[in-house]
Chain A
Amino acid sequence: MRRYFEKMAVREKYDEAQLIEQLHKQDTCRSAFGKVIEHYSEQLYWHIRRMVIDHDDANDVLQNTFIKAWTNIDNFRGDAKLSTWLYKIAINESITFINKKKVQNNISLDDDDSFLTNNLEADKYFDGDEAQLKLQRAIATLPEKQRLVFNMRYYDEMKYEDMSEILGTSVGALKASYHHALKKIETFFENND
């Protein structure tokens, strides 16, 4: 019974339909967007962090994601879920950020993102062990889309249907992509024992 009331309290606190309505009114949009930030900042942060690896970079990308969403809030009509829209922006911002970083470091855009894990050991916001470090290095060698799919499925435990909506790819293709990612990680571990 207590759990039910806790669930109801959460539901009352975050009512997406009501929030979207408030987002489209000049006098309520700012406070409504505050609630959006409060609700999504943590999950988006972890998604971005797993893509860009470094905390400060993740902080910048998360900030850019919300600012982009805020400045385009008038174009969001509620046809898609708010989470889908925010994830799309976060993914685009993450990829744009990684590509900029590649250019700054004279790395070809076609190369994988393994350069992101070069300084992970020294990162003060990483406290993983050897195996966790190895897994991050293995994930960074994956092609961008496979990396996205792997992170969303493995860490976020997102449904393929939701991923399909965000990434605009069929469920079958996403399952295949995840399978290939697992194979590559396995191979990475075999070759780096």
Chain B
Amino acid sequence: MKTKDSKILEKLGKNPGFKVPENYFNDFNAKLVESLPEVKITEEEKPTLWVRVRPFIYMAAMFAGVWLMMNIFSQGKSSATGEQRAANIRAGVAVEKNADDLMDYGAVSDYDIMTYEDSVSMEMEENIDLPQ
């Protein structure tokens, strides 16, 4: 600082003129360490393996849960589509011509045909008047 204010200080320098007894700091340090009272330190416990891996296990469980729910939801959705398709087929093939066309050109899988056949046979059974 080269301001007017610091000119006096520049002349004086940074020695305040204080001194200490000879070997003061070495003696002070040694005496103080000896005179320190006992203290109780609360040591931080090291976390167990379970505590350390717990967050990762919880996260994995959460993702597994989400995956499972999505899987169940998508399965339910596909089974609903299957029923719908079977119903459509049943309605369509009620007319014989449509049934022939469907068999020849439609994207009908073996499973669809089986579903259709099952439903037809069940309807037939329901309509049969069994002797009392």
Instruction: Using CB atoms and an 8 Å cutoff, list the residues of chain A in contact with chain B.
Output: 23-26, 29-30, 33-34, 37-38, 41-42, 45-46, 49-50, 55, 59, 62-63, 66-67, 70-71, 73-74, 125-129, 131-133, 135-136, 154-155, 179, 182-183, 185-186, 189
Contact = CB atoms under 8 A, between A and B. Distances in A.
B40 interface: yes
B42 A125 contact: no
A38 B42 CA distance: 24
A161 to B, nearest CB: 18
A182 B20 contact: no
Given A71-B37, A125-B21, A183-B5, A132 B29 contact: no
Which secondary structure dominates chain B's binding surface?
loop
B56 interface: no
Contacts of A136: 16-17
Contact of A128 (B16, B20, B39): B16
A112 B111 CA distance: 101
B14 interface: yes
A185 B8 contact: yes
A74 B5 contact: no
B43 interface: yes
A49 B33 CA distance: 21
Given A25-B41, A182-B5, A41 B36 contact: no
B105 interface: no
A46 B42 CA distance: 33
Contact of A30 (B14, B19, B36): B36
Contact of A132 (B4, B16, B21, B41): B16
Given A42-B25, A127-B17, A37 B32 contact: yes
Contact of A66 (B6, B17, B32): B32
Contacts of B3: 182
A131 B12 contact: yes
Contacts of A33: 33, 36
B73 interface: no
A154 B9 contact: yes
Which secondary structure dominates chain A's binding surface?
helix
A45 to B, nearest CB: 7
Please indicate which of the listed interface residues B14, B25, B28, B43 has the most CB atoms of chain A within 10 Å of its own CB: B28
A9 B40 CA distance: 32
Contacts of B44: 24
A126 B18 contact: yes
Given A45-B25, A63-B32, A67-B36, A125 B19 contact: yes
B47 to A, nearest CB: 15
Given A25-B41, A62-B28, A126 B33 contact: no
B41 A126 contact: no
A1 B40 CA distance: 44
A90 to B, nearest CB: 14
B11 interface: yes
B18 A55 contact: yes
B32 A132 contact: no
A82 to B, nearest CB: 16
